[in-house]
Amino acid sequence: MLKAEKLTWAVDGKTILDDLSFSVGSGEFVGVIGPNGAGKSSLLRCLYRKNQLTSGMVEFAEQSLNDYTMRGLAQKIAVVLQEPPTRFELSVADVIRMGLTPNKPLLSFDTLDDQKAVEEAAEQVELSDKLEQEFNSLSGGEKQRAMIARAILQAPELLLMDEPTNHLDVRHQIEVLELARSLNISVIVSIHDLNLAAAYCDRLILLNRGRIVAQGAPELVLTKQQIQQVFEVNVHVDQHPFNRKLRITYDLGGEKHGR
Ligand SMILES: Nc1ncnc2c1ncn2[C@@H]1O[C@H](COP(=O)(O)OP(=O)(O)OP(=O)(O)O)[C@@H](O)[C@H]1O
């Protein structure tokens, strides 16, 4: 579905992403992990054409990303960003409704079905009681969930999410990832929490300093050695006794502090 080959992005003469090759299959849930500044957001920006590649190529559905119109791209790919835009002086319902735009004829009016779709998307992210509230007055986590509802309404084939769990409490982190999984579309998500990444992603791409250090199933990528090398922390990696997913436990410096 999505294929990147030798993707390279440089800015001000500095190479930020260097020779990245990977693919994401239909319905796959892929996590992009790596330390601060590794290039996760820059990579996602290349995948929705906010960053123009310096060299290499990205194909979506066997067509170069550059060959899509903006509207054509929005019909295929939805994006949920780390910091939702704050310029919206609109209600939550207005913001969510924007998700319908790419798939509606230009200058058409909203139908009752559109209204119902907005309400259903709001319900999925537990914002039904906030629909008339101004978007800007939502909490960080609520804004994030509204942007996810907008993306759901877009009915994309690929969902790109840049740190979607950033502002969310632990229950909503889990719910957002489960919701994204339940859509049964391809998802590429950048994520800091390695345990969530291991639990929800089919495959992981581990970035460090703009290069892919490892990619594959969580068990192959999240090895003790690789985590220690890239994140520079001591960890213990085992299998969770209940869900059999990888479990990463960090050395929180107890020894150092005599605890
Ligand atoms: N437009 C830009 N101009 C200059 N430098 C940039 C630009 N965009 C990104 N960078 C640099 O590229 C590097 C990677 O940034 P990026 O935001 O992609 O990292 P990240 O892995 O998403 O980090 P974080 O985990 O902190 O969000 C950083 O050093 C950043 O300063």
Answer whether residue 249 is part of any domain.
Answer: no
Cβ–ligand 1 contact at 170 (below 6 Å): no
Cβ–ligand 1 contact at 45 (below 6 Å): no
Closest to 89 measured CA to CA, from 144, 39, 133: 133
pLDDT (0 to 100) of residue 82: 74
3-state secondary structure at position 206: strand
Task: Give, using CA atoms, the residue closest to atom 6 of ligand 1.
Answer: 11
Answer whether residue 97 is part of any domain.
Answer: yes
Answer whether residue 223 is part of any domain.
Answer: no
Answer whether residue 235 is part of any domain.
Answer: no
Based on the structure, what is the number of domains in the chain? 1
Sequence length of the chain is: 259
**Residue given tokens 């759901």 in the structure block:** 152
**Contacts with 19 (C-beta within 8 Å, 6 or more apart), sequence order:** 6, 7, 8, 56, 211
Q: Residue 12: which domain range?
A: 2-217
Q: Is the dihedral of CA 166, 167, 171, 177 positive or negative?
A: negative
Answer whether residue 129 is part of any domain.
Answer: yes
Answer whether residue 174 is part of any domain.
Answer: yes
What are the two backbone dihedrals, phi and then psi, of residue 118, each rounded to the nearest 5 degrees?
-65, -45
Cβ–ligand 1 contact at 51 (below 6 Å): no
- What does the pLDDT profile of the chain (259 residues) look like in tens digits? 999 999 999 999 999 999 999 999 999 999 999 999 999 999 999 999 999 999 999 999 999 999 999 989 999 999 998 776 666 689 999 999 999 988 777 667 778 888 999 999 999 989 999 999 999 999 888 888 899 999 999 999 999 999 988 878 898 899 889 889 988 999 999 999 999 999 999 999 999 999 999 999 999 999 999 999 999 999 999 998 888 889 999 988 655 443 4
Cβ–ligand 1 contact at 173 (below 6 Å): no
pLDDT (0 to 100) of residue 162: 95
**CA pair distance 120, 115, nearest whole angstrom:** 9
**CA pair distance 76, 93, nearest whole angstrom:** 22
Global pTM? 0.91
Residue type, 33: I
Answer whether residue 246 is part of any domain.
Answer: no
Cβ–ligand 1 contact at 42 (below 6 Å): yes
Answer whether residue 69 is part of any domain.
Answer: yes
CATH code of residue 200: 3.40.50.300
C-alpha angle 189-194-195 in degrees, rounded to nearest 5: 110
- From the alpha carbon of 192, which atom of ligand 1 is closest? 25
Q: What is the CA radius of gyration of the chain?
A: 19
Task: Give, using CA atoms, the residue closest to atom 3 of ligand 1.
Answer: 11
